[in-house]
Structure 1
Amino acid sequence: MRHNLRHLRVFLAVAEAGSVTRAAASAHLSQPAVTQAISKLEAALGVALFDRSPHGLFPTPAGETFRLRVQRAFALLDRVVAEIAPRLQLTITAAQTEALIAVSDAENFTLAAKRLGLAQPTVHRAITQLEQDAQRKLFERTALGTVATRLGHSLAQAARLALAELSQAEAELAELRSESAGKIVIGAMPLSRSHILPTAIVKFQQERQGQTILITEGPYAELLSGLRRGEIDFLIGALRYPVPIDDVEQRELFQDTAVMIGRPGHPIFGKGQADLAQLAQYPWVVSPPATPIRNHFDRLFGEQGLVPRQLVEAGSLILMREILNETDYLGFASGGQVRAEIARGLLRRIDFDLTATRRPIGLTTRSGWLPTPAQRLLIQTIENAA
């Protein structure tokens, strides 16, 4: 839902003043304009935001919920707006913020317009007006594309997070109406997809049958970027130390240890206690470079001056399992990730002490993130499953 930003500021003014008259004076608007803005907002949201009485207007429970999210949204947006041009607080529109985000992402007006389903001149006009009001260039036109300036990038990022807060507000208002809205988006790393999430999601959806959950997969750097942009609600998987950037927070759930695995009947199981020199003679399926589990693998052999004979680098457990089942390749993976395959007899664990590979698994969220009740319940369910 696209919200009229001016109407949202009027809503905050009324909630603060408790009176249309006082809110109109503080916002330099007529009383009918304030009344109309609140009416349109309530109609769009499908809830009453205020209880009307002879003593004034008082936020309903839905109004209080909405006010908190709107305040958080403007706190994110206005901090950057104040650095660029304070007057933008009065002039910036939702259409302009959407155009700003789209052009910043696509680095091209035509592609941005296609993403928004608009004509290219419409998007160009929105950015031009925004730059005129800001009296700053928010984009640099280069031979390689339309690239956001530092301030343009900062404003686009603030707008993304502000819109994410408004989406959270819609989900919370829907819950007050006993409805489900939006999606909970989880950035899931390999261990969580095979070990924690399946159990947690089934349990959660027994209680919240109408709630949609979207699992996003990808390299850690991409998932972290999506989290910071407000496109992903939280990440679950191996934690990074030190924390990669100061606008995210990590919470440990448990510790996981790597395992070496092979197919049942692999020759390595007939040779007694295996040592690294023997293991280095076999080809391996391992995680991609720069992942925590791969770092452990490289360090384990590297400290002994050993180089395994051949590597297949893959992030897919299914691919690893199939290669191991058909060949004499060995695998190096998270113990939690392959627990089910070992329990079912599809793979066999090699007896080798890997306690030094212990690593923390947990949740990563944006600093200051405020989950909705549904998100909070899902996180609690994940914590219980872990």
Structure 2
Amino acid sequence: MNDETPSTAQIQHNLRHLRVFLAVIDTKSVTKAAATSHLSQPAVTQALTKIERELRTTLFTRTPQGLFANSRGDLLAERVKRAFGYLDPALNELSPRLKLVATTSQLRALIAVRECENFTLAAKKLGVAQPTVHRAVTQLEEEAGRALFERTSYGIVATRMANSVAQAARLALAELAQAEVDLAEANQEEAGTVVIGAMPLSRSFVLPRAIAEFRKLRPRTPVHVLEGPYADLLAGLRRGEIDFLIGALREPAPIGDIEQRFLFTDTIVVVAGTGHPLVGQAKPTPEELASYPWVVGQKGTPIRKHFDALFEGLAKRPAAIVESSSLILMRELLSRTNHLGCISFLQAQAELTRGLLKALPLHLEHTARPIGLTLRRTWLPTAPQRLFLDLVTQTDTVP
């Protein structure tokens, strides 16, 4: 990031200044904003000056009729309103006064302690002294008039209210971080990141193509691809740490604050190494398949449900199972042993085309499942994030 790129790391540190900024946006007057904010006019002017200085840009057109937000002011205002839209209801429920006095440092401390369940670990995560974190949380508790954490034998556990505020604060800070990208784009600068929660199919099929095209258009924008169990990726999405997920959609959607966008359908395929006894033979029976060891995804995944259905009603089911979503592990194990693999057809397509794996002649059209995007319902993407989504939706299922 060069010196001319706007920095929200600083504006995030003073929520009160951002509230004053919104008051000026709404009233178009320093005098009226001072009255609604219960501040002096010089204090309002000073807050605006500080924000503009930190952002290295002007946010208002000053006229005799008042202050009117310019295009950059409108961009920032939209993100700040969204941030407080997340944060304020949670703070009001805990204590109405916190809306006026809570600071970013206190909220970051709350988030860190909630995640680490320990003040010392939270301090290390934030890069500050342990007493600093303890003091920040204590200040919030004193203002709220209640404890935010319960001390247990295995750590410090957040109360329901602390969880609510921490989640809201995470989303609010994510919105302010998005403001940096919006303002940089307004200055025709390349900024921001794209963070993707990638399920197994997307890592082999969708993402390589989308990233290749994205890199042609955004040569310097970082792309972070995060892997892990669906539950962990979904939690990261809902906390604002991940922009969107790509992979098998869940039916029904697991929770109401996300939306799922269909892209295409995929089926499963049973694969074997090139030297497996079943390769080249007629359609194997379920009993024959059950007699071999398998590599298949973890329980609870869509593929595992289809795998289990293959042997429904059999007295003897596969006894030796390796649970893994790794295509590389599956390919290498199948090449060395008589294991069979149950995997997404599109995920294995490149391996099948190159002759590294062989598909067994089974009729599995009934295993068709929807593949798509999972996003937070209220998410507003930045320009690079929107571009990446557009490239993903253009993915062709024909190689």
3-state SS, counterpart of residue 269 of structure 1 = coil
4+ residue stretches of structure 1 with deviation over 3 A? 303-306
| AA of the residue aligned to 1:301 | F
2:180 is the counterpart of 1:170 = yes
Matched residue, 2:92: 82
2:296 is the counterpart of 1:296 = no
Matches within 5 A, 1:338-377: 338-377=348-387
Q: What is the alpha-carbon distance in structure 2 between the residues aligned to residue 192 and residue 303 of structure 1?
A: 32
Give the counterpart of 2:103 among 93, 103, 115: 93
Maintained 8 Å contact 2:193/2:384: no
By how many angstroms is 1:170 displaced? 1.1
**Percent of pairs with identical residues:** 57
Matched residue, 2:347: 337
Q: Deviations over 1:61-93 (max 9, x none)?
A: 111111011001001101111111111111011
3-state SS, counterpart of residue 346 of structure 1 = coil
Matches within 5 A, 1:184-223: 184-223=194-233
| AA of the residue aligned to 1:204 | F
3-state SS, counterpart of residue 385 of structure 1 = coil
Q: What is the alpha-carbon distance in structure 2 between the residues aligned to residue 94 and residue 379 of structure 1?
A: 31
Give the counterpart of 1:251 among 253, 258, 261: 261
By how many angstroms is 1:141 displaced? 2.3
3-state SS, counterpart of residue 322 of structure 1 = helix
RMSD: 1.2
2:271 is the counterpart of 1:225 = no
Q: What is the alpha-carbon distance in structure 1 between the residues aligned to residue 315 and residue 371 of structure 2?
A: 29
Q: What is the alpha-carbon distance in structure 2 between the residues aligned to residue 281 and residue 141 of structure 1?
A: 51
**Structure 1 stretches of 5 or more lacking a match?**
none
| AA of the residue aligned to 2:321 | L
Matched residue, 1:52: 62
Maintained 8 Å contact 2:268/2:367: yes
**Structure 2 stretches of 5 or more lacking a match?**
1-8
Q: Deviations over 1:251-306 (max 9, x none)?
A: 11111100011122322124322221222222211112221101110111123444
Q: What is the alpha-carbon distance in structure 1 between the residues aligned to residue 182 and residue 240 of structure 2?
A: 17
By how many angstroms is 1:309 displaced? 4.5
Matched residue, 1:112: 122
Q: Deviations over 1:201-233 (max 9, x none)?
A: 110121111211100000001101111111111
1:60/1:224 Cα in 2 relative to 1: closer, same or farther (>3 Å)? same
By how many angstroms is 1:142 displaced? 2.5
By how many angstroms is 1:49 displaced? 1.2
How many residue pairs end up in the alignment?
386
Q: What is the alpha-carbon distance in structure 2 between the residues aligned to residue 141 and residue 314 of structure 1?
A: 37
2:151 is the counterpart of 1:141 = yes
Give the counterpart of 1:321 among 331, 338, 343: 331
Normalising by structure 1, what TM-score? 0.97
Q: What is the alpha-carbon distance in structure 1 between the residues aligned to residue 55 and residue 344 of structure 2?
A: 46
Give the counterpart of 1:124 among 124, 127, 134: 134
3-state SS, counterpart of residue 24 of structure 1 = helix
State which drifts further: 94-103 or 168-177: 168-177
